[in-house]
Chains A and B, each alone.
Chain A
Amino acid sequence: MDFPLAIARTSLQIMRDTVHALLMRELKTRFGAKKLGYFWAFVEPAAQASIMAIMFSLIGRNSLAGVPVALFILSGILPFKFFSKLLPQLAQAISANKPLFAYRQVTAIDPIITRLIIEAVTFVVVYTVILIVMAWMGFEVWPHDLLALLGINTLLLILGTGIGLIMCSAVAHWEDSSKILAMVMTPMFFISGIFFCATMIPSQYWYLFDWNPIFHVIELSRDAMFASYTTPVGSWKYVGMCALVSVSVGLMLYQVNRNRFIAT
Chain B
Amino acid sequence: MGVSAALNLDELIEQGQELRNALGAETEIQDEIVTSIYRRAEAIASKVASQVDRGRDWNKTIDDLLTSRLVGFPLMLLLLGGILWLTISGANYPSNALASLFFMLEDQLTLLFLRWKAPEWLYGLVVLGTFRCLAWVVSVMLPPMAIFFPLFTLLEDLGYLPRVAFNLDNIFKRCGAHGKQALTMAMGFGCNAAGVMAARIIDSPRERLIAILTNNFIPCNGRFPLLISMAVLFLGAGGMKYGTAIASLTVASMVLLGIGVTFLVSYILSNTMLKGVSSSFALELPPYRRPQVLQVLIRSVLDRTLFVLWRAVKVAAPAGALVWILANINIGGVNIIEHLAGYLDPAGRLMGLDGFILLAFILGLPANEIVIPTLLMSYLGAGALMELESLSAMRELLLARGWTWLTALNVMVFSVLHFPCGTTLLTIKHETGGWKWTIIAALLTTGTACLACFIITQLVHIVGLLF
On whether the two chains bind one another, the answer is no
Interfacial residues, chain B to chain A (CB-CB below 8 A): none
Q: Contact residues of A with B, CB < 8 Å? A: none
